[in-house]
Chain A
Amino acid sequence: MDDSDGAEERFTELAALEAIFPEIKKHDDPSAVSFSLDLPVHPSNPITVTYPAASGTAELTTATLTGSDEEAPGAMDSQVLAHLPAVNLRLSLPEGYPAERPPSVTISTTPPWLPLETTKKLEEEGPRMWEEMGHNMVAFAYIDHVQQAAENVFGLINDDGTLGVDPRHMISILDYDVRARRETFERETFDCGVCLEPKKGAVCHRMLECGHVFCTACLQDFYKTAITEGDLAVVRCLTPNCAKDRAAAQAEAGSGKRRRVRAFLSPSELLQMGLSQEIVSRYVTLKYKTELESDKNTIYCPRSWCDGAARSKKHKKPEGLELVEVSDDEEAEKSDEKDDKGKKTKKSEDPSERLAICEDCGFAFCSRCFQSWHGEFFLCIPRRDSDEITPEEQASIDYIAHHTTSCPTCGVPSQKTRGCNHMICFRCQTHFCYLCAAWLPPASPFEHYNERPDGSRTGCYMRLWELENGDGNDVGYGFLGGRANNRRRGRNQAVAVPRVREVVNVDDEDGPARPEGDDQQQQNAEVAVALEAPLVLRIGGQAPPRDQQPRGRGRGQGAGRPLATPAPPAADQAARGGRGGAIGRGTGGDFRNGGRRIPVRMRGRLDDALHPADAAWVRNFVEMALNDEENSEDSDDEEMPIVAPLVH
């Protein structure tokens, strides 16, 4: 036998192999006939692959957590794989083969997940078989042998049915499996349950959760319509009773952890089906919204233009297209609920937890009183829904709406007990007008009520002394304090029970014992009690010296006395006596020295419309009339001076 014979035999063998394995690759090798071939490793049953921490190849007997082929998300990673990366077989038939020289074999895998020993053993088996077969053509027999060995993964499976692989290769092994599965899937044919047509796997989608297969055209059509119409509940598997059956199956299997069966689809799965980005992001947004709305504990931003939800641990705002899942774990949820309840019943909740931050506009506010965040050490009154409010409280709220004006800076409602309409907020020292809640320049607060240098007038022109006797029940409802307009604010008709501070009169030098005034102050005292509020307002400028003597009862008391509990307006007799005058800071202001009181009670812009001469006459007339009345009623020194028009 000569070389050419040998070469002949080798080429014959190669040709035969090529007929059997068309995917054979030939290599240019001058010294030998050389070719290679990928042999897939598809275990007859899917196999659980574990990744023992011990790297290297020797230690394969590591115990694993799984005995079944169930995926066990445990301490150790493990997956059930149907496809392992193919074994690459490279055969070289040297000169002299098969009569004199054995074939040489190289075996490799990408990644090298096969242990070195195994590859070595396999490689050695080539020459050994050649020997056994009496130096005959052995290539096909050998390839077949390796293929068979691959079926039980070269005997690498442990006693517990798992296969240990170096953790370094985990990702690529997984990746290979996914790709291989996909390819197999694409070659298969499925009957889509919606259009009832047989479809190639390539245009189908297998539901990740339940494994049902539909054609992507049907899925896209259906989910697109559903999401566009906002019908999120139907965005789930299209098979009848799918979730129910799975739940039943799971209950039957009695798996230790009772995970709730997930029915809805993940956004990424919808993208996989080929739905447009736009639709999927609509899905994510709607889903999140529904989730928030179904949670009674969701706190919304009090800013009426925002309406965002407060950040919460339970519901994470979706980022991009990823829907952050609410924990599916029923148990976890239960314990959460318990926590919640525990917190509700416990009085000593952590005040810092009241801080809520709006997800959308970043507004930091108190989840209890829905005012902007006031720090932990501030006692605030919870906002309540309107149906929780008792008639007494409602009466208080109505009273506040009717008879107080809010400071334009800090919003604290203030009530005037008597005096002029120039107010100074006790809390923030803002000067403002009691009638229209406008800011007043501290330097020239009375310009608001006079003609301005340029001749223009405000709606409050000549109304400095309107409501002189205070804004209270007996004054009537004619003037709806500045808050009336704000009453509608807040969602669910929730009403903030605001803090009200007592008003201290500016102009009290004459404050005392007018029967009328006293009566009214008492009224106000009751009101303040009803409003459960600390006391606030101070009015006016500097006190003229002669006012410093407190006169009459109750004077000088009560400013800033907080009242802890709400009481019906007429109930708290005791508090009444205690507070009395609610006066105290006798401040009259220079304007008083002018002695101008213009108790004109005309409403609106009548003044503005009048000719100056007529206006003067009207004022005179009214003043005289009032004067008479006062003179008869009021024995104090206080008689209204007859007054010329207000200072110009």
Chain B
Amino acid sequence: MASKRIYKELTECTTSPPPDMKVCLWNESDLHTWKVALAGPASSVYEGGNYAVLVTLPTDYPFKPPTVRILTRIYHPNVTNDNLGNICLSILKPENWKPATKVSAVLQAVRQLLVEPQPDDPLEARIADEYRNDRNEFEKNARQYVTRYARGPPVFGDAPPAAEKSK
């Protein structure tokens, strides 16, 4: 059942992708690892950035939630400020996951997180504080990251990084 559903979702995501995104498989033989190129949403501080997003679907997907990581460095309260790019998204927490949630909905939630960070549920407490208390500084830093890391086409690397769950 899983691969049938994944295949359907993939078709849906490639033919009519969510806004600002391009979706494909990491390699054709593995339905469970997706590459998503996400363009920083217009009018957000991430505008102009190109982000490499890795979506990994577990073997018991859709019963267990997928994991999503932003491989491109990004300055964001809800994304770890490291090479892993783990992301904190409530719908992806195991206790909140609903099997009827589709990957496209997850991706849209990720995009929405760039538009509207959630400083109350942060992975990077310092950035969250800055976001709340010194928005100008935050925006400056975020833009700097965009220029420094996210200008070119999204870089995925050769092989999908091993899935690591940090939180």
A residues lining the B interface (CB < 8 Å): 193-197, 214, 217-218, 221-222, 225, 231, 233-234, 237-242
Contacts and interface: CB of A to CB of B under 8 A. Distances in A.
B16 to A, nearest CB: 15
Residue with the highest number of chain B CB atoms closer than 10 Å, among A214, A237, A240, A242: A240
A225 B63 contact: yes
Interface stretch (B23-31, B43-51, B91-99, B133-141): B91-99
A238 B98 contact: yes
Contacts of A242: 98
Contact of A234 (B62, B95, B105): B95
Given A194-B62, A218-B1, A240 B9 contact: no
B58 to A, nearest CB: 12
User: What's the interface size class on B, roughly?
Assistant: 10 to 19
A602 B8 CA distance: 84
Nearest to A193: B100
Given A222-B99, A234-B95, 18 more contacts: A193-B100, A194-B99, A194-B100, A195-B1, A196-B5, A196-B9, A196-B102, A221-B1, A221-B63, A222-B63, A233-B95, A237-B98, A238-B99, A239-B100, A240-B91, A240-B98, A240-B100, A240-B101
B60 to A, nearest CB: 7
Contacts of B101: 240
B9 A239 contact: no
B8 A218 contact: no
A181 B95 CA distance: 34
Residue with the highest number of chain A CB atoms closer than 10 Å, among B5, B60, B62, B98: B98
Residue with the highest number of chain A CB atoms closer than 10 Å, among B1, B8, B94, B99: B99
Interface in B86-127: 91, 94-95, 97-102, 105
Nearest to A242: B98
A195 B5 contact: yes
A214 B99 CA distance: 11
16 contacts: A193-B99, A194-B5, A194-B99, A195-B1, A221-B63, A222-B63, A231-B95, A234-B95, A234-B97, A237-B98, A238-B98, A238-B99, A239-B98, A239-B100, A240-B105, A242-B98
B4 interface: yes
Contacts, number: 43
Interface of B: 1, 4-5, 8-9, 60, 62-63, 91, 94-95, 97-102, 105
Contacts of A195: 1, 4-5
A225 B61 CA distance: 12
Contacts of A193: 99-100
**What are the 7 tightest A-B residue pairs by CB atom distance, in nearest-first order?**
A193-B100, A238-B100, A240-B98, A240-B101, A238-B99, A194-B99, A196-B8
Contacts of A241: 98
A217 B8 CA distance: 18
B91 to A, nearest CB: 7
Contacts of A231: 94-95
Contacts of A218: 1, 99
A197 B62 CA distance: 13
Nearest to A194: B99
Contacts of B94: 231
Nearest to A226: B63
Contacts of B63: 221-222, 225
B14 to A, nearest CB: 15
Contacts of A239: 98, 100
Nearest to A239: B100
A116 B129 CA distance: 77
Contacts of B60: 225
A221 B98 CA distance: 14
Nearest to A192: B100
A234 B64 CA distance: 11
Contacts of A197: 4
Contacts of A194: 5, 62, 99-100
A241 to B, nearest CB: 8
Contacts of A238: 98-100
Contacts of A233: 95
Residue with the highest number of chain A CB atoms closer than 10 Å, among B4, B60, B101: B101
Contacts of A222: 63, 99
A238 B1 CA distance: 16
A217 B5 CA distance: 14
B3 to A, nearest CB: 11
